[in-house]
Every structure is written in C-alpha cells, then in structure tokens.
Amino acid sequence: MLIPSRNRGGLSRRRFVTGLGAGGLMAALPRPLQAHTPAAGQVPPTARARWDLRVGRTRIEIDRKVLHAPCIGEDVPGPILRWRQGDTVSINVTNTLADEDTSIHWHGLRLPAAMDGVPGLSFAGIPPGETFTYRFPVTQSGTYWYHSHSGMQEAQGLYGAIVIDPPVPDPQPCARDYVILLSEWSDVSPMDMLSNLKMQDDYYVFRQRTLASLPREAREAGSTLAALKDRLAWSRMRMAATDIADVTGVIYTYLLNGHAPDMNWNALFSPGERVRLRFINGASMTFFDIRIPGLEMLVVAADGNAVEPVPVDEFRIGVAETYDVIVQPREARAYTIFAQSEDRTGYARGTLAPQPGMSGPIPPMDPRPVRTMVDMGMDDMKPGESMNGMAMPEHGHDMSASHSHSHLMPHHEGGTMDGMDMTGHAPQHPMGGMQPTTPQQTPHRHDTPTPRHEEGAMAGMDMADMQPAGHGHAMPMSEHRVDEPVHHQPAGRMHRPGAMDHDAPAPGTMPVLEVDDPGPPPLNVENQNIARMPTDRLGSPGDGLEHNGRRVLNYRQLRATRPGSDPRPPTREIIMHLTGNMERYIWGFNGRKFSESGPIRLRRNERVRFTLINDTMMEHPIHLHGMWSELENGQGAYRPYKHTLISQPGSKLSYLVTADAPGLWAYHCHLMLHMETGMFRTVIVE
C-alpha cells in the first residue's frame, strides 16, 4: 500500500535549527533541518582517519520542543564517523560551550585508557575554549557510537554513530548501508527529570492500573479477591506493576536519526537489494522494540561483532547496544521501521521505500508489558499468593505517606498479608521465608536456569564444594552485609573448582575459582528488594515480548562467528547485585551507591567472570569500558562479545572479561539517571 507522505513539500516539518554562533539575520531565523543535513543516517562514502569536531550548544526545535542542545556541528545526532580498522585515528574535539566542560567517549572501543574520554578517570575533560586530540589505533570493526561523558550532555544531544570498516571484504555485502540511531528528545532538562523522579518515582508514568481495569485483572487472577491481593502485594512493595520506564513518552519525543515520527526519516532501496541497517540505541533512558512489518530481519552483528545470522521479526535494543541487521525488501513499496518504546508510550519511526517521500502504514502499539513476580526474582509465586519471603526496605514506611501510586488498596502500615511481615526490622532479620542464603539458593551455575523450590530440581547438583567450612553462603545473614564489593573479608569469598562453567574444559583440569560474593545486599534506604530466586532469562526476549506471535531475538541466540580469543577459564568470579530504591530514586551495586564504594580491582590479564544478579524491577544495560564482556549464553567458545549487556529484572547472568587493558575504567548502568544516582563503579586494571 502506498501512502503519500504528509510531510511531502516540507509543510509539516517539525524540526528547525538556529545557529547561535553565526551572526546575521539568517542565523536568527529557523531553517529546516533537511537542508542542513540531507544525509542523516547515510554512512559517509569513505573512511577518514582525521576528524575535527566542534562541541557547542545549538537551538534546535523538534516536535515543538525547543532545546539549546549540546551537540556536534550544530546537529543532533552528530556526524557519522567512518573509520578503517588498522588506521590510527586522530580526532580534535574543540569545546565551544560557554561555561561547561565536555568530553567524548567512544562507546565499545578498545583503546588506551587515556583516550576513553571519561572525565576524572581517563582525563580531566575538555574545558571551554580548549581542544583535546584523541589519538588511538583502531583494532576492531563494526557499528559503534560516541557520546559525551560530561554531566548529562549525552541526554540532550551529544552523541553520534561510528562505522568501522573491516580490513577484509565484508562477509555480508549489502547494496545499501544505513545507520539507524534511536534517541529521545525533550525540553525537560535531565536535572529536572531527576528531581521529579526523586520526588515521585512514577512521575512520568500515567498508566497505573485503575478501578476500570480490575475486572480484567480479576479474570486473569481467578477472582476479584486474588486480583486485590495482587494489587496489595505490589503496593506493599511500593512499586507499580506497570512501571516499565522511569521517563516516558509523556515528555519524550522518540527520534530516528534525529527525526521525530511525523518527519518520517526515509531511506531508499531497489527491490531485491540487500540493505544493512545499523541500529544504535543512543537514548539515555529508553529501550526500543524494533520491527519492520512485512520484512524479516537477519541479525548479523551485536555490539559491533559478527554473529551467526539469526532471522527475526523483532528485537529489543537496550540503551547503548548496537545491532546490525540485513533486510531484503522485494516489493516496490514502503516499509515502516517501527521502534516502540518498551513502555509503549511512544515510538520512533522511519520508512524504507523505493522512492523518496513515501510512507508505510504505522502499526498500532503493542500492549505495554506488566511486571510480574518473575521480575521480582520470585517466579515461584502466583499473583495473590503468599508474599512470605518478601524482603522489604527498612525505611520504606516513612515514605508511604508521600507516595501516590494510584493503587486502590490502602497502605497498611505495619499490617501483615499472608505472612508478609512488613515491620521493617530488616536488614538483620529478613522477612518471613527470606532465610539466610543457603547453598541451594546460590548455586552459581551458569548453564542452567536457577532451580526453584522443589528439592527435585537440585538433583544432580553437587553442592559439596559450595560449603567450605565457615565460608560462603552458610553464613548468617548479618555476616553477609559485606561493605566492600570486591575487597571484602572471607565472609564473602570462597574457593571452589571452576568446573561450573559450561564453557570450560573438563573437571579436573580446572584451576580454583576465587569467588568475590558480597552475599545478598543489605535492605535499607538504598535497596528495596532481594531477588530470592533469580532466574536465567537469557532465553527470554524480555518483558512484553514473550509469546507475541513473532520471532523475537533473545540473548541465547547470539553466537559469535569465531571462537573467543582467550580460551582460559576464569580464576575469579565477581558477583554484583544490581540494586535500587525506586522510591528514593537511588541506584547502585550491592546496595551501595558509587560514593560509598571502592573500586573493583582486576589484576593485569586476569580472566574474570562477572555475575550480575538483578534485584530490581527494571532492566539495566550494564557497560564495562575498555574490555569486552563475553556473555556466557551457552554458545561455548563462540560466546558473543558485547560491550553492553541487558540484565533483566529478577535475573542472573554472567560474562567473562580478560583484564588486558591497564588503567582506570568506568563500569556502569547506561541508563543516564541510574548512572547519575549511583549505579557506577570504577574498575582498576593494575
């Protein structure tokens, strides 16, 4: 079906740029952006090793939202940088901002620590009026991106794409090659977002469950009483089952290559051609679910690295991830690239078409995901079932008065519900069935989903090596309140053979694995929940995408096209809990924010396993700078190399790292406001 674009002729263009730097009348008048950047998303025809980038603020209006955006070359996104593997690139970054430092971080790039662009770790930042020259050899190829690591400039526009040519001919040659950079646009400053979220965690969520939705919930839960109990359970946890994203389409316009949905970014193809689409999630807070109705997408690369092609209808892209997909449209018609935000409050959209100006049908948005007990790390529970075992924050109660989730049920202070003891004497005395962690609950297996309650599920697991005398998980709960995530005392450290790694050689040849385990995080103002039974969710495409009738990519399907470069098994495992208090809007690792934590120290060339246990109700895209994160997803030596990994709520996953890059590196959640409020660590490779 051909639908004429209502943007044809430019009458409804919603995007204007006003240069602040240039003088004269022209600069004062808004001008259409299309004239400014006719080639948004077009990969430059050739690679270059030398670049000059100017960072400044530019008045840009998109979708009636005016922003003096910090950006490069007066545009959002900044230019696509095309490099060639094997070259040494040299990039002069000049800061023309009036009174703030800037920086550029090259996301996913392996380079000397001093070139990584994180102020305070890599270098001092770039003061106003000064130029910093980044210079480093390019040792990899694929799709990456860059962004500011200063303040929250990234959230407002300081980002762009990087495309690196491989030294050999592309094994997946395509007639067309486009970057699809997704991001957000808002005239609310990130600082205001943060203060609003600290005041009220669901400030930007206007889709709570209502009285009207109760009959449907009752049908799903089996009875009205069960539905009410479920609601009460959620209200006791002071979370809403509908909280999917912290910041939503209420204030965001979602952009595709800097274009609002009604601007309909488009790209051309001739029927039958193979078209490479390099998807980059350059948003600061939004996950997108992407599909092109009528077209199969062949996923050929993840985070810049080639994977065995996976045909899909849809995939979720977490903040900071990249995926290359190849499509082959055969009909001479318009195809819509549809990227709905995970919470379904909006979408970015563009069009692939045989002629400019065409527009394909825009599908309705899917139902929004609803968080379940799986997301709590308690998938053994049914809605309305006993909340016995629910761990709650000690300081939760003094918050409830100001809390305004529109639940029907009152907040019963000090009440009980099916054995849920909410009296708040945590953390030393965990609630109900929240026992001191037993070996059965922390098997540290990476090849199987975490077993559930049934004793039978434990059959065949040899727990003997899990219980060194006086060490590890047989400790009383209180002794698990280890402060230091890494350099803590023997309470959280144990040794065991590394034979648990499914990717490793046969038992008997394994070195001893040293485990840095802080134990369950403390329950306090900085941490609301412990995932009692975190599960392996690598086979799940993510909340809201299961059983939707489409083939949706999941992490288990990612298989590298060549074996990993370091076959050594890990000699150390570092267990990190992702924690937070949604209500206070504090995020951290192991129940602590950045300011209360020491660095993670890795020995040079050490082979380490990081295990992430997500105790929160949200996905977190976790990014380690400078080194690859090799996801242990059951693909053996062909595990995919990633720079950013989505940790799903209530889940547990692990990845291997070779600490081959000396220096100071950032390690953080890539949701901007989570990083800002504490989900950040320094990694030192010494």
Tell me how far apart the alpha carbons of residues 313 and 306 are, in angstroms, rounded to a whole number.
19
Say if strands 512-516 and 572-581 run parallel, antiparallel, or are unpaired. Answer: parallel
Instruction: Name the segment binding Cu ion (CB under 5 A); options: 18-26, 125-133, 491-499, 671-679.
Output: 671-679
Shortest Å distance, C-beta 255 to Cu ion: 21
Say if strands 347-353 and 314-317 run parallel, antiparallel, or are unpaired. Answer: unpaired
The H-or-E segment that residue 262 falls in is none
- Nearer CB in complex with Cu ion: 203/269: 203
Strand stretches in 63-175, DSSP E: 65-72, 81-84, 88-95, 105-107, 131-137, 142-147, 159-165
* Closest by CA position to 62, among listed 185, 157, 159: 185
Instruction: Name the segment binding Cu ion (CB under 5 A); options: 140-148, 280-288, 633-641, 666-674.
Output: 666-674
For residue 203, the tally of other CB atoms under 10 A from its CB is 19
Instruction: Name the segment binding Cu ion (CB under 5 A); options: 141-149, 289-297, 404-412, 663-671.
Output: 663-671
Contact between 674 and Cu ion per CB under 5 A:
yes
The H-or-E segment that residue 641 falls in is strand 641-642
Instruction: Name the segment binding Cu ion (CB under 5 A); options: 214-222, 367-375, 626-634, 678-686.
Output: 678-686
- Nearer CB in complex with Cu ion: 322/616: 616
| Single-letter code of the amino acid located at 455 | E
Shortest Å distance, C-beta 59 to Cu ion: 31
x/- map, 307-346, Cu ion, by CB under 5 A: ----------------------------------------
- Nearer CB in complex with Cu ion: 284/351: 284
Sign of CA dihedral 214, 218, 220, 225: positive
Sign of CA dihedral 33, 34, 36, 41: positive
Tell me how far apart the alpha carbons of residues 410 and 387 are, in angstroms, rounded to a whole number.
17
User: Are 164 and 138 in contact, with CB atoms under 8 Å apart?
Assistant: yes
x/- map, 601-640, Cu ion, by CB under 5 A: -------------------x--------------------
Shortest Å distance, C-beta 677 to Cu ion: 9
- Nearer CB in complex with Cu ion: 588/640: 588
Shortest Å distance, C-beta 586 to Cu ion: 11
User: Are 590 and 521 in contact, with CB atoms under 8 Å apart?
Assistant: yes
- Under DSSP, the state recorded for 552 is B
Instruction: Name the segment binding Cu ion (CB under 5 A); options: 80-88, 400-408, 462-470, 661-669.
Output: 661-669
- Nearer CB in complex with Cu ion: 72/631: 631
Where do runs of H (alpha helix) occur along 374-495? Answer: 397-400
Instruction: Name the segment binding Cu ion (CB under 5 A); options: 174-182, 207-215, 536-544, 662-670.
Output: 662-670
The H-or-E segment that residue 456 falls in is none
The H-or-E segment that residue 236 falls in is helix 224-236
- Under DSSP, the state recorded for 449 is P
What is the total residue count of the chain? 686
Burial of 445 by CB count in 10 Å (0-12 exposed, 13-18 middle, 19+ buried)? middle
Max Cα separation, the chain? 79
Shortest Å distance, C-beta 576 to Cu ion: 12
Instruction: Name the segment binding Cu ion (CB under 5 A); options: 127-135, 257-265, 452-460, 668-676.
Output: 668-676
Shortest Å distance, C-beta 107 to Cu ion: 16
Tell me how far apart the alpha carbons of residues 240 and 110 are, in angstroms, rounded to a whole number.
40
Shortest Å distance, C-beta 592 to Cu ion: 14
Tell me how far apart the alpha carbons of residues 80 and 43 are, in angstroms, rounded to a whole number.
6
- Nearer CB in complex with Cu ion: 644/658: 644
- Nearer CB in complex with Cu ion: 287/555: 287
Contact between 671 and Cu ion per CB under 5 A:
yes
- Nearer CB in complex with Cu ion: 162/586: 586
Shortest Å distance, C-beta 665 to Cu ion: 18
- Nearer CB in complex with Cu ion: 310/679: 679
Shortest Å distance, C-beta 355 to Cu ion: 42
- Nearer CB in complex with Cu ion: 107/620: 620
Shortest Å distance, C-beta 679 to Cu ion: 5
Shortest Å distance, C-beta 548 to Cu ion: 25
Tell me how far apart the alpha carbons of residues 511 and 505 are, in angstroms, rounded to a whole number.
10
Tokens of 578: 């992702």
Instruction: Name the segment binding Cu ion (CB under 5 A); options: 43-51, 506-514, 556-564, 676-684.
Output: 676-684
- Nearer CB in complex with Cu ion: 286/359: 286
Contact between 473 and Cu ion per CB under 5 A:
no
* Contacts with 182 (C-beta within 8 Å, 6 or more apart), sequence order: 254, 255, 256, 279, 280, 281, 282, 283, 286, 288, 317, 339, 348
Shortest Å distance, C-beta 368 to Cu ion: 19
Shortest Å distance, C-beta 531 to Cu ion: 15
Contact between 669 and Cu ion per CB under 5 A:
yes
Name the one residue in this structure whose structure tokens are 């037993």.
438
- Nearer CB in complex with Cu ion: 306/669: 669
Contact between 237 and Cu ion per CB under 5 A:
no
- Nearer CB in complex with Cu ion: 76/671: 671
* Closest by CA position to 483, among listed 581, 591, 394: 591
- Under DSSP, the state recorded for 36 is H
Q: Site residues (CB under 5 A) for Cu ion?
A: 620, 669, 671, 674, 679
